[in-house]
Structure 1
Amino acid sequence: MHSDEVDIDSSLVGRLLAAQFPQWAHLPIKPVLSAGTDNAIYRLGADMAVRLPRIEGAIDQINKELLWLPRLAPHLPLAVPVPLAVGAPGESYPWNWSIYKWLEGESADNQRTFDKDQAARDMAQFIVALHQLDPAGWPLPKPPKSSRGGPLSSRDASTRAAIAELSTMLDSSALTEEWEAALDVPVWQGSPVWTHGDLLPGNLLLHEGRISAIIDFGVLGVGDPACDLIVAWSLLSAHSRQIFRAALPVDDATWARGRGWALSIGLIALPYYQNTNPVFAATARYMIGEVLADRL
């Protein structure tokens, strides 16, 4: 998916375990099919998962998770990844890697027939809980401000470039109009809140028809809560989207910025991944389509 991606396979994972965690080296290793773009995941035995960055840009994401998830997890209504151990570079692999507790469930991007109304309620409950946590109340310094929690204007150039690149596939005029409308929405004036920043279907796990866990906190940060509303257009239908909105204490401007975030993320992802990650590309198309459908 990326020109600077490192080669990772089960053999490498086995060698890293044998060298650094021999107590687990006898356990079976199985690649996890995922539309994730920055990390490779392998199931280790029945109860653990090994996660390795594919690209250098993912290293800081892993470090952020290791630092903050143990502190946030007890306060959230859905399961999140629990780090168990951190591996070091070795066996020709250049970066730190990590071992987590295995979370049961299937990625939501593989299951489009679940109860989206219930998913809307579950996601609203999770987002409200996350946004209510005081980032200033933790004993460690606040993490760097996530770009996903910043203003939409920071994505203007890349979003317009994506619209131009997709001009033969999509309605550029409608997309530009929607994007400019999002840019005109007042910016966030409230106190910064914790944000997951990447609530796409691939980062939501479903177990027995319900959302059971939220994964990949690589862009966790503090800022504008609007970026976490992208799930309304990446996962939900028009009907369930209204249930989701009714369960959230957000004003019209925050909702409109959330729609802008969904549009921008979908537009930038589609041309980049359309030939290398069809699942993620399908999610991007869905997001764009749902945002445009909201105009009607």
Structure 2
Amino acid sequence: MHESQLRLSRSEAVGLVRGLFPSVAEPEVTAVDSAGTVNYLYRVGTGCAARFPMQGGDAVEVRAVLLAEHAAMRDFAEVSTVPSPLPVAIGEPSGEYPLPWSVQTWIDGEIATPASVASSTSFAVDLAALIASLRRADTKGRSFSGEGRGGDLAAHDGWIGHCLQQSEGLLPVDRLRRAWTSLRSLPRHGDDVMSHKDLIPGNMILRDGRLAGILDTGGFGSADPALDLVAAWHMLDARRRNILRINLAIGDLEWRRGAAWAYEQAIGLVWYYADSNPTMSALGRSTLNRLLTDPTLSL
């Protein structure tokens, strides 16, 4: 999926896991079929998951990132309304794989898709309860780090322009360009709140059509209060989006900023993953379609 992507075979993953946990038998280390774009994922027994970064970097820096993610995972678990992974260990690099890697607890359930709970009122209510709980968490004086989504919308103009250029022939680029023009300058009001920062279907675990777990919580941190609203367009139909909005008491400006962040996340998925990760490409396409057809936005 990525130009600098590291290779990791199952035999290498098994060797690394068994080096950290000698009592684990070889058949207990199984590759997980995932649409993830950051880590290779292996299940370890029934209770753990091993995550190996896909892209290279300095081992010391990667270790620092993993330690920060583990701290964020603990913070998230304390305020989440549903189970989320907890850190277990950090594995060492080897001759075959050059980076530290992490082990965390496994959350059972079904991975959501953009359509699987789109018409579920129960799920919309569950999602609203989660976002409300995250918003109430103490920021402990932290503010947006300046990296990624969650700060100034206009700071993403360069990326949006590049994505629109790459999307010629794949998406209605002229209309999407006009949509970004109307979204990019929306003013920001209110202080940062704690945010998951990546509430996409692949990070949500379902059980019997209800929200049963949240994955990839290592980015938990302070950001624009509108950021976690991206889930509305990633996962819900118009009626269920309105239920989410009512339950969170979201005003027009914040709602439109949430749409802007959903746009910023989705616009890069379609073209970038068109061949290498069709699941992620399809997510971008479905989210953009929901944004363009949302009567509350008039894009």
Give the distance between the partners of 2:227 and 2:2, measured in 1 at CA: 24
Q: Which residue of 2 aligns with 1:216?
A: 216
CA distance in structure 1 between the aligned counterparts of 2:143 and 2:260, rounded to whole angstroms: 26
The match for 1:281 is 281
The runs of 5 or more residues in structure 1 that have no matched partner are none
Aligned pairs (5 A) from 1:195-274: 195-274=195-274
TM-superposed deviation, 1:167: 2.5
In the other structure, the counterpart of 2:138 is: 134
Matched position secondary structure for 2:113: helix
* CA deviations over 1:126-168 (Å, ceiling 9, x no partner): 111011111117xxx7784542221111111111221222232
Aligned to 1:106: 110
Structure-2 change in CA distance of 1:285 and 1:114 (3 Å): closer
- Residue of structure 2 equivalent to 1:62: 66
Counterpart Cα distance in 1 of 2:253 and 2:125: 21
Residue equivalent to 2:162? 161
Single out whichever of 20-29 and 76-85 deviates more from structure 2: 20-29
Task: From the superposition, tell whether residues 61 and 111 of structure 1 become closer, same or farther in structure 2 (CA, over 3 Å).
Answer: farther
Correspondence list, 1:155-194, <5 A:
155-187=156-188, 189-194=189-194
CA RMSD of aligned residues (A): 2.2
Residue 32 of structure 1 corresponds to: 32
CA shift at 1:186, angstroms?
A: 0.8
Stretch deviating more after TM superposition (201-210 or 279-288) = 201-210
Contact kept, 8 Å, 2:118 with 2:235, in 1: the verdict is no
TM-score by length of 2: 0.90
Matches within 5 A, 1:71-82: 71-82=75-86
* CA distance in structure 1 between the partners assigned to 2:96 and 2:270 by the alignment: 32
Instruction: Judge conservation of contact 1:114–1:210 (CA < 8 Å) in 2.
Output: no
Q: Distance in 2 between matches of 1:127 and 1:286?
A: 22
Aligned-partner residue type, residue 150 of structure 2 = G
Unaligned runs of 5+ in 2: none
> How far off is 1:23 after superposition?
2.9
How many Å separate the matches in 1 of 2:280 and 2:95? 30
Structure-1 separation of matches of 2:133 and 2:259: 21
1:52 is matched with: 52
Q: Are the structure 2 counterparts of residues 145 and 136 from structure 1 closer, same or farther at C-alpha, using a change threshold of 3 Å? A: farther
TM-score, with normalisation over the residues of structure 1?
0.91
The structure-2 alpha-carbon separation of the partners of 1:196 and 1:145, relative to structure 1 and needing over 3 Å to count, comes to: farther
**Following TM superposition, by how much is the alpha carbon of 1:92 offset from its aligned partner in structure 2, in angstroms?**
1.9
Between the aligned partners of 1:245 and 1:256, the Cα distance in structure 2 is: 11
Aligned residues: 292
Specify which structure has the higher proportion of helix. Answer: 1
Specify the alignment match of 2:100 in structure 1.
96
Contact map agreement 2:89 2:103 (CA 8 A) in 1? yes
Inter-partner Cα distance in structure 1 for 2:89 and 2:4:
26
When residues 43 and 134 of structure 1 are mapped into structure 2, their CA distance, relative to the original with a 3 A threshold, is same
Distance 1:275 1:259 in 2: 26
Identity %: 32
Cα distance in 1 between the residues matched to 2:72 and 2:99: 19
Contact 1:149 1:221 in 2 (8 A): no
